[in-house]
Amino acid sequence: MGQDHGAQARRTEAAALVLLLGWALSVALRDWNVWADDLSALYFAARFAAEGAWDLAYAAPAHIIGYGMTPEWDAEAAALGYPGAHLNRYVYPPLWAALFAPLAARLDPLIFYNGFVLLHLGAVLAGLLACRRMIPERSFSPLVLAGLSVLLLESSVAGLFLFDLVQPQALVIGLCLCALERAQSGRQTTAGLLLAIAASIKIAPGLLVLAFVVCGMWGAVRAFALFGAALLALSVLLAGVEAHRLFLTAAAELDGIVFLLAINPSASALLWVLDALWTGVPLAEVDAKEVVAKPAWIGTAVPLLALTATAATLWIVRRTPKADRVWLAGGMLYLVMTLFGGFAWLHYMVLPLLMLPGLAGLSPLGRGFSVVLFFGLLQSIPFYKVVLDLFPAPVPQILLGIAVTLGFWAMMAQTARRLAAGAASSRQDESAPAGA
């Protein structure tokens, strides 16, 4: 009987793996030899870095962010045989432009993009596996978990943007999830290294180091600090001080504006909406891609709110069993990072979507499916299109995105409280006198 059960479990695992690999293959075929809008920033910055032209690598278009770049970028794309191609500004740390400069200088953009399609798919699959290992399975089988994950990725706006634009956030998401899983498994040095790499790509994921702190995983904290310092030193060595000054200038420039776009549901955008209501700005007339200066009070309020949300996260998870505490704290801190960052792009939400089936599986079967259906619907492409058609101005979409982010955070907070209560009840039962 035990052998039959073991064989069935292996077949289920194999079927889940085949499903995930089949999905990855379909995405790779769909995005193969397709212009990668978001990755264009890295490719062209790396080409200019290869020439030592860091001023061009960090050149900014007149409209701050979005499609279309400076004439030098457009001319470079045309010279490579892609006139009028969509290009995005480079706002990542210099390290990555420097590291990929030799490749970008020698490879056609589509070949470069194809390599990253495979890299990003590998990162997401690794993140999915990390979620499987971190979150205990109860209601859903491995095959159901895999099926739900594929359904969420393929039906969501977040998944569409992440893969079709070849957005580097895919790599960040995989690194963050694998860092949390390695920490949970006791591989603290590896966990710190992975998180340091994620933070060296987009900086903000460094907030997740507090998940190690709240678990007392000081080895992971030390590894994060040491590897982070080493990556910074390598960056300065390869790119020089001037490139870092240009990067900080670009980051400060972006931090001074609010980008009112339906796919940017950030706290800054919400606070600007409140400010507009107070000052009488007609929100129905706000353009769907408007860039506005960030009022000084928002620049002060957002960090204070982020600190408050971070403190609340650590307070809520502090009594959760350590094995569950690290991934719950990491997931909740990631949502805090997303909401209070300068740009809360919808593709950032792929990380909670990857965690969602496992989280929902902690509840009874019917309730778990309802949770997946609820969040999946709110993030789905058809629902998003309906909201876009009903409300041409971006404000309703921004509010919807913020509500979904808060909903994910609240669900994780409730899970943390429930697991903490269960652990406390178990300790009381174990300490009760025999026969009591």
Closest listed residue to residue 404, CA positions, set 290, 222, 262, 240 = 262
What pLDDT does 396 receive? 86
Q: How many other CB atoms sit within 10 Å of the CB of residue 312?
A: 14
Tell me 436's DSSP state.
-
Please report the pLDDT score of residue 287 as a whole number. Answer: 67
Which phi and psi (to 5°) does residue 260 adopt?
-85, 90
pLDDT of residue 436: 46
pLDDT of the chain, 436 residues: tens digit per residue: 456 667 787 888 899 999 999 999 999 999 999 999 999 999 999 999 999 999 999 998 766 665 667 889 999 999 999 998 999 999 999 999 999 999 999 999 999 999 999 999 999 999 999 999 998 766 788 899 999 999 999 999 999 999 999 999 999 999 999 999 999 999 999 999 999 999 999 999 999 999 999 999 999 999 999 999 999 999 999 999 999 999 999 998 888 888 888 888 999 999 988 888 888 777 766 666 678 888 899 999 999 999 999 999 999 999 999 889 999 999 999 999 999 987 889 999 999 999 999 888 888 777 888 999 999 999 999 998 888 888 877 888 889 999 999 999 999 999 999 988 876 555 554 555 555 4
pLDDT in tens, 181-190: 999 999 999 9
**Strand (E) or helix (H) holding 289:** strand 289-293
**What distance in Å separates the CA atoms of residue 334 and residue 207, rounded to the nearest whole number?**
8
State residue 293 phi and psi, 5-degree precision. Answer: -65, 140
As a 3-state breakdown, the chain gives helix, strand, coil percent values, each rounded to 5, of: 75, 5, 20
> What's the pLDDT at 10?
84
What the block records as the tokens of 222 is: 């030390």
Max distance between CA atoms of the chain, in angstroms, equals 83
